[in-house]
Amino acid sequence: MTTTNAHSPKQVINEASTKAAIIEAAKEFISLQDDQLSSKAKLIQALQEEKQALTYVLIATSSFGFLF
């Protein structure tokens, strides 16, 4: 398992690694995964809001078309 961090050099974890090194690498990996999930959740929310806005525009233009 290999982990990287912007503030530290690449860290290689293998069977010879200490328990503390494995735990630290796991914490860094989990933190990176949490950041990625958070970014993806924000993107999904933005896309849902955009879809909703486009739906309202479609409803408005369709209503305008039916009236005139």
Helix (H) or strand (E) holding 2: strand 2-5
21 contacts: CB under 8 Å, gap ≥ 6: 11, 13
Phi (first) and psi of residue 57, to 5 degrees:
-65, -40
pLDDT for 5 beyond 50: no
- Structure confidence by residue, pLDDT tens digits, 9-67: 577 888 888 999 999 999 999 999 999 999 999 999 999 999 999 999 999 999 988 88
Q: Which residue has the tokens 């860290």?
A: 11
Answer whether 0.85 is exceeded by the pTM.
no
pLDDT for 4 beyond 50: no
